[in-house]
Structure 1
Amino acid sequence: MTSTSHDLATADLGGAVLGEALRASDKSLLALGDRHGLPVVIKVLRADEEFWQAKFTHEIRLYQAFTENPPPVRVPKLVHTDGHSVLIIEHISGHPVDTERYPEQPLSAVTLDAVLDTVTAFAQWTPPPGMLAPVFDYPDRVERYHHAGFFDADDRAALHTLLDAAPAPGQVGHGDPLPANLLLTESGGCVLLDFEFTGLFLPGFDLAMLHTLLADTPGAQGAVDALVDEAGIEVPFLINQAMVLSRELRMHTELDAGEFRDKRLALLRPQWDAFRARLHARR
């Protein structure tokens, strides 16, 4: 019996029949399936770590909340869950914006508009009381990345000054709007997938991620900047850029030396320099 078969042998699939396996890792199994004639996506948790168990349960609770209190954008419908390690949702036909973290090909203007419309609309969702909490501690993140050498003393001081004047994180954010988590439907819409990191942020976190990840798409950063200006969230967006860019730099500086690492850092370092210039221009 394969490990995939073993995972499903003891799982409560609620009558769903397994189809093609899409992805299998130590963390989870993702597969297509069918439940009473309805095409579905089956997600089964495999990890024993408390962190991933909590994230999986959190995603289940979000899909349950979406059922009772739908967000202002399309999300897959919840079909079945055992409440802790099995999540079965509606299968929506389409394809991801890209399979890479940083798209190899620029997004079309139509796709870019669909993506930005979707993440900004999702931020307007009103979750049930107590459903969401801040995903991370902003001041603590600044301290950790300062100690790791990404923020210098002036960066640290400037960010703490902005954070001291900022409200508590209170805007809903998807938290992980990677191109692979953005599904383009056959009708031209955009559907958010994977809500493990959804929670409360300072305004503009998802926009800060897209500003970074879509840097090679002409007009993408300008379109994000225009949305930021329109919403009047320049300061929280700047703080979110600090969070996103420092993390991306850490992730990619830790890669083995080579062409892939060099290519990513060549994309990130100019963005880092531009962010720091804007940060210190506010002082």
Structure 2
Amino acid sequence: MVSRVSPRLPSKSNPDDAFAALVALAGRAGVGITRVVHRTDKAIVATGTRAGRPVVAKLLISDDPYWVSRRAHELDVYARFASDPPPVRVPELLWADDRLTVLTNVPGRRLHDERHLTRDISHAKVQLVLDTLEALTQWAPDPALPEPIDYHGRIHGEFAAQLLDDAERATLHTLVDRIGPDRVTAHGDALPANLLIDEDRCALVDWEHSGRYLPGHDLALLYTVGAAASPTLATAITDRVAAGGITTEYTMNLVLLVCREIRIHDSLPLGAAPAHRMSTLRDLHIRLRQQLRPASR
């Protein structure tokens, strides 16, 4: 991997200029861009080739310190992969500067292209995904990955957003203290688009939120965005949680992630998400709040 400083990027408000910058910077890394596969106000992601090898090129176009720090963390994780490989399939870092990241193009198709599942997932695929996420929890690199979530802080935040009341806030604080320092490695952003299925293998991509979380974090996120459309997934996750003895930790993660998902959807423009999705999230939110009192006993 070669590391250099990128020239100043053009305004991200002009997509053509941003794409031209991607092509130019990728060329410096020996990458020929073939097509853009994803574009946001944060980054442009494209496929290409480098020395005849399929690659993915990601260009950070945001100057937001949060996303700059998340990318720095992701690069550190890729370096960890090289020295201490995880027990799951991941991309290999080939090249990086302060804006551009070039990775191997891992074979596979996304579990789903949208943030939320819109159809049921087969039992075989569900088990493959959950086996992969479970295997990741056994990866313990040294030194340990950071803890991205301050659980007490997140509880305060959801209370301030009026998604938890006083009693629920107190219950969650008590549960965090009762659980103690137990944390496991998690991807942190196990959305369907970050899970690539290739026959009997599942790869995980986009590691900017990875770290050590309360057990069940990745399962809780996948449940939040997938359970309503996939009863097969919902049942399998519930069974895994019970078998693993992590019901309290999982519930903690699920409550906070559902609260966050409601806030995300509240901020979307009218019509940007299906009308039924918010009602589904609200129903799940109500059921979880009802579970908090018995969970604290």
Q: State the superposition RMSD in angstroms.
A: 1.9
Runs of 4+ in 1 over 6 A off after TM superposition: none
> Counterpart in 1 of 2:287?
274
For the structure 1 residues 13 and 178, does the alpha-carbon distance in structure 2 shift closer, same or farther, using more than 3 Å as the test? Answer: farther
Aligned equivalent of 1:223, options 232, 236, 239: 236
Is the 8 Å Cα contact of residues 252 and 261 (structure 1) preserved in structure 2?
no
Deviation string, structure 1 residues 234-267 (Cα, Å, up to 9, x no partner): 1111111111111111122333445935311222
For the structure 1 residues 10 and 37, does the alpha-carbon distance in structure 2 shift closer, same or farther, using more than 3 Å as the test? Answer: closer
Shift of 1:14: 2.7
Matched, 1:50 2:65: yes
For structure 2, the 5+ residue unaligned runs are 1-15
Is the 8 Å Cα contact of residues 265 and 273 (structure 2) preserved in structure 1?
no
Q: Which moved more, 1:47-56 or 1:261-270?
A: 261-270
For structure 1, the 5+ residue unaligned runs are none
Aligned equivalent of 1:21, options 33, 36, 40: 36
Aligned equivalent of 1:167, options 180, 186, 190: 180
For the structure 1 residues 253 and 261, does the alpha-carbon distance in structure 2 shift closer, same or farther, using more than 3 Å as the test? Answer: farther
Aligned partners of 1:206 and 1:259: how far apart in 2? 25
For the structure 1 residues 238 and 53, does the alpha-carbon distance in structure 2 shift closer, same or farther, using more than 3 Å as the test? Answer: same
Matched, 1:98 2:98: no
One-letter code of the match for 2:226?
L
For the structure 1 residues 154 and 64, does the alpha-carbon distance in structure 2 shift closer, same or farther, using more than 3 Å as the test? Answer: same
> Counterpart in 2 of 1:204?
216
For the structure 1 residues 140 and 31, does the alpha-carbon distance in structure 2 shift closer, same or farther, using more than 3 Å as the test? Answer: same
> Counterpart in 2 of 1:107?
121
Aligned partners of 2:284 and 2:226: how far apart in 1? 11
Shift of 1:69: 0.9
> Counterpart in 1 of 2:253?
240
> Counterpart in 2 of 1:73?
88
| SS of corresponding position for 2:293 | helix
State how 1:113-262 maps to structure 2 within 5 Å: 113-130=127-144, 132-168=145-181, 170-185=183-198, 187-215=199-227, 216-258=229-271, 260=273, 262=275
Aligned equivalent of 1:30, options 42, 45, 70: 45
One-letter code of the match for 1:184?
I
Deviation string, structure 1 residues 92-123 (Cα, Å, up to 9, x no partner): 23210111111111111111111111111111
For the structure 1 residues 90 and 152, does the alpha-carbon distance in structure 2 shift closer, same or farther, using more than 3 Å as the test? Answer: same
Identity of aligned residues (%): 34
Aligned equivalent of 1:64, options 79, 83, 91: 79
Aligned partners of 1:39 and 1:259: how far apart in 2? 33
Aligned partners of 1:256 and 1:6: how far apart in 2? 29
State how many pairs are aligned: 280
For the structure 1 residues 159 and 60, does the alpha-carbon distance in structure 2 shift closer, same or farther, using more than 3 Å as the test? Answer: same
Aligned partners of 2:207 and 2:282: how far apart in 1? 29
Shift of 1:42: 0.9
Shift of 1:31: 1.0
